[in-house]
């Protein structure tokens, strides 16, 4: 794996915790990549980089908030100037949800779209010209199984993640001749704080860990599998436990999946 990432400049959003932090640790240990870390928490990003063992010449910290999508061109310019290029952009930052559709204020649905979809594609669009100038690159997007099928308590989140798949499928075709590859990563239940920070119907945070998340795949194992998929330039990769079987049910037995989801415990 290391030879693929060696000497590449990799920009990771949502790098202050969870999947993003695990990616930083893995890349630091197993490659000589230079890493740009982004999230809203500037101090935490420095902590993650130093904890991973990154030397000062191998990383940069650029704070960003995806909801401020109009800032993305300036932020992308700053990122590209750090090491002279961006080889891989990993769109990892996002927000999850735990609330019934009819109990979710429409402003929360908009918040999920603004962060999970609009902010992500705004950042992607802003970095593409630099990749074209560099004659290639790769864009990885952390979506979700909810980008492939929906489940109760995730309506706004599933909608935003489905939108990502439509956009990046189109973008993959548009950028193929520019030597820019797109990899969609669809996690199942991974041991992160995603459910703790998930928004509820009124915008407050859930504040608790879902049982399924608590018992999910360890985040360090997920990060290893995700980086392997990026190295192989997979178009789409689902990663998780037995819950990933739902992807195949969606394709071949959609009626059965619908029945299972109606009865499944989803929190």
CA 216 vs CA 89, 90, 188: distances in Å: 26, 22, 8
Side-chain half-sphere CA neighbours of 241 within 13 A: 11
Nearest 10 degrees: Cα torsion 182, 3, 130, 187? 30
Angle between helix 219-231 and 18-30 (nearest 10): 60
Q: What is the pTM of this model?
A: 0.96
Look at residue 255 and give its three-state secondary structure.
helix
Q: What is the CATH number of the domain that holds 61?
A: 3.40.50.720
The single-letter DSSP state of residue 115 is: I
pLDDT of residue 2: 56
Closest CA to 216 of 194, 247, 183: 194
Mark whether 157 is an active-site residue. yes
Token representation of residue 150: 């929906």
Which string of b and e fits 45-68 if b means at least 16 CB within 10 Å? beebbeebebeeebbbbbebebee
> Cβ atoms within 10 A of the Cβ of 249, count?
17
pLDDT of residue 264: 81
Structural domain tally of the chain?
1
Contact predicate 225/219, CB 8 Å: no
pLDDT of residue 265: 72
Look at residue 207 and give its three-state secondary structure.
coil
**Catalytic position from the list 59, 69, 130, 157:** 157
**Could you list the residue range(s) of the whole structural domain that residue 245 is in?**
2-263
The list of the chain residues with pLDDT below 50 reads none
Phi, psi angles (nearest 5°) of residue 134: -85, 5
């Amino acid at each position: 794996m290391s030879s693929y990432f060696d000497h590449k400049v990799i920009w990771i959003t949502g790098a202050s915790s969870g999947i993003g932090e695990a990616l930083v640790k893995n890349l630091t240990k197993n490659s000589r990549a230079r890493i740009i870390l982004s999230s809203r928490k500037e101090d935490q990003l420095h902590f993650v980089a130093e904890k991973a063992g990154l030397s000062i010449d191998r990383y940069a910290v650029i704070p960003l908030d995806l909801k401020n999508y109009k800032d993305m061109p300036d932020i992308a310019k700053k990122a590209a100037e750090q090491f002279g290029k961006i080889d891989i952009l990993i769109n990892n930052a996002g927000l999850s949800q735990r609330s019934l559709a009819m109990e979710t204020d429409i402003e929360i649905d908009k918040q999920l779209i603004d962060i999970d979809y609009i902010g992500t594609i705004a950042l992607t669009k802003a970095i593409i010209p630099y990749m074209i100038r560099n004659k290639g690159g790769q864009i990885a997007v952390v979506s979700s199984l909810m980008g492939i099928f929906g489940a109760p308590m995730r309506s706004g989140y599933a909608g935003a993640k489905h939108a990502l798949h439509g956009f990046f499928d189109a973008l993959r075709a548009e950028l193929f001749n520019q030597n820019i590859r797109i990899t969609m990563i669809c996690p199942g239940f991974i041991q992160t704080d995603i459910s703790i920070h998930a928004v509820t119907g009124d915008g407050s945070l859930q504040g608790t860990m879902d049982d399924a998340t608590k018992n999910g795949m360890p985040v360090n194992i997920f990060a290893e599998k995700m980086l392997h998929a990026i190295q192989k330039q997979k178009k789409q990769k689902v990663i998780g436990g037995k819950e990933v079987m739902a992807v195949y049910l969606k394709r071949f037995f959609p009626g059965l999946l619908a029945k299972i989801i109606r009865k499944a415990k989803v929190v």
